[in-house]
Amino acid sequence: MANPYKELRYTHVFEEGELLGWGGYGSVVSSEYFIDGQKYAIKKVPIDGRTLYEDARREVQVLALLKHPHIVQYYTAWFVSDIHGKMGSDSTGPDSATEVAAAAAAASEIETIRGCLYIQQEFCESDLAKLIDRGVGEEEGYRIFLEILEGVSFIHSQGIVHGDLAPKNIFLDKNNRVKIGDFGIAKFVERNELSQVGFEYYSAPEIPCQPDPRSDIFSLGIILFELFHELKTGHERYTVLNMLRDSKLTDPERKVQYDGPIAKLALKLVHKNPTERPEINWIRDQVKELSDDPWSRLKLVSSSCGDVFAAIVFGN
């Protein structure tokens, strides 16, 4: 007989709040945990079939590996099946990922898996997309991008490619610190193909492909440009970001030339040939140099390919 607490775990111990986001994966809601009084983000992933189940389980496995100050913290996960009673976990620690795997083993004999996977994560106050819409100061922009680089560098060090880096998937906590999240399509290097389901503008042109950290570098290039260049309308954003994706820095429609060091650095990151994109440590060094020394905008900057160009403008 199924444990009634496990059957009603979510509704009994959480008070659901506002809807934070939704998509093909399901939905994310804010929920207050009755026991500690804290607010969490609960991702609810409807499962109808083994493929969806395995994809969702992989996200839990990725989250359980990634413990870093600039990655959304994962707390626990539990699966509720509507096939043979309810399967769930009362654990509140990271070991619950193992229990989800155990539930998978138990479900391995079931031809069709249906139910819902609940993923309890850190609640963040906002995201980078909203901050960009409000406008980002130069000093703040450098800090935020360096924090993004720290988080992405750690993800790659674990043999994982995020595959869906975009401002809406980069969250900000109450102290405005970066927290990278939404690992729904993240893949382990050399294990799976990276799917073409990422956000428009940010997804690398070579996708679908084998997971490669350089695909994330492309996304970082678009994010870097957007952090430092105010794009006031949807049409302007569409025009300029697609121009950058095509490796161009001139907007003939508005007669604007983006020729500052940030724009030129972003151009290197979005190189159409993945092998020509710089490594993350080199990017970090360049951004730190620009943030530490405003006069570095006037000096020669060497590209990762050995090209040298003069950045002799004060704007970005």
Contact call for residues 298 and 311 (beta carbons, < 8 A)? yes
Banded pLDDT at 214 (limits 50, 70, 90): very high
Q: Which residues are annotated as a binding site for ATP?
A: 44
CA–CA dist 241, 75 (Å, integer): 36
What's residue 83's pLDDT? 53
Helices (H), 158-271: 213-228, 234-245, 261-269
- pTM for this predicted structure: 0.81
pLDDT of 60 higher than 50: yes
pLDDT of 189 higher than 90: no
From 36, 95, 127, 164, the catalytic residue: 164
What's residue 56's pLDDT? 85
187-188/160-161 β-pairing: antiparallel
Residue 122 phi, psi dihedral angles, 5° rounding: -60, 135
Domains and CATH numbers, the chain: 4-122 (3.30.200.20), 126-310 (1.10.510.10)
CA–CA dist 29, 17 (Å, integer): 6
CA–CA dist 72, 70 (Å, integer): 7
Percent helix, strand, coil in the chain, to 5, is: 40, 20, 40
Contact call for residues 181 and 170 (beta carbons, < 8 A)? yes
What's residue 93's pLDDT? 42
The tokens 């991702």 sit on which residue? 43
Please give the average per-residue pLDDT across 124-143, as a whole number.
94
Q: What secondary structure letter does DSSP report for 208? A: S
Banded pLDDT at 211 (limits 50, 70, 90): confident
Lowest mean pLDDT among 108-112, 201-205, 303-307: 303-307
Contact call for residues 28 and 20 (beta carbons, < 8 A)? yes
Amino acid type, 147: E
Respond yes or no: is residue 82 known to be catalytic: no
